């Protein structure tokens, strides 16, 4: 099986990190995790989403770009907990909910478009589905104080955003969705699907994304 770059997407608390760690152990891949502890804005964001949302998303966009480049240079396959493409779900959600201004959104999108013109999609993107109630239960179990007050409406909108992301990128790379209500029921299916993709494709970095820039700035 050829080495792959596998991305895992899903709402807060769904179980991405746990799955990434398990898959890396099973496949002998490198696991790359979302930089939660190194994010200087996260606790501030949960205190005041409107004040800190835009700058936090710009910070995360740059951090994920670096992770993406490191994945490309990895001598082994990679499993990444949330990709640069999934980052747009959170930024768009903030904008559509009024927590990011039009000007801030335009600045974010300028940075995003500049970055992704030189990137390609992972070989496989795994989407983990689960209800808001399920995510809230898992958030409570992991007991991160900064996440204790996340509104249900915020998680609802993230779920809708991930459904849209799945539809957007399915034209450009392999995507798989799994019900993650009971991880034990589908974990082996995820592993089997990764191995199947590895038999049919490889670490090609050939799937470039068409530009979405307006014609006047291309």
Can you state the percent helix, strand and coil of the chain, rounding each to 5? 55, 10, 30
Active-site annotation holds for 81: yes
Give the Cα-Cα-Cα angle 88, 147, 48 (nearest 5 degrees): 70
**DSSP three-state, residue 124:** strand
d(CA 190, CA 129): 13
Estimate to the nearest angstrom the gap between the alpha carbon of 109 and the chain centroid.
Answer: 16
Tokens of 16: 């991405």
Active site residue: 81, 106, 184, 216, which one? Answer: 81
Dump the DSSP string for 24-39.
HHHHTPEEE---STT-
**Active site residues per annotation:** 81
């Amino acid at each position: 099986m050829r080495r792959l770059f596998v991305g895992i997407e899903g709402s807060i608390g769904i179980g991405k990190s746990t799955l990434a760690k398990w898959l890396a152990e099973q496949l002998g891949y490198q696991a790359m995790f979302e930089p939660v502890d190194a994010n200087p804005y996260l606790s501030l964001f949960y205190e005041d989403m409107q004040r800190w949302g835009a700058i936090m998303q710009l910070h995360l966009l740059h951090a994920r770009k670096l992770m993406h480049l490191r994945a490309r240079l990895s001598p082994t396959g990679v499993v990444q907990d949330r990709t640069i493409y999934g980052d747009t779900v959170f930024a768009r959600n903030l904008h559509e909910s009024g927590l990011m201004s039009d000007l801030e959104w335009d600045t974010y999108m300028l940075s995003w478009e500049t970055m992704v013109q030189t990137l390609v999609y992972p070989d496989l993107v795994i989407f983990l589905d689960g209800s808001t109630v399920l995510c809230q239960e898992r958030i409570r179990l992991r007991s991160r104080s900064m996440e204790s007050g996340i509104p249900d409406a915020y998680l609802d909108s993230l779920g809708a955003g991930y459904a849209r992301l799945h539809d957007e990128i399915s034209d450009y790379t392999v995507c798989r969705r799994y019900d993650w209500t009971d991880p034990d029921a589908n974990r082996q299916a995820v592993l089997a699907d990764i191995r199947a993709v590895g038999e049919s494709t490889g670490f090609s970095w050939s799937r470039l994304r068409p530009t979405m820039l307006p014609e006047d700035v291309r």
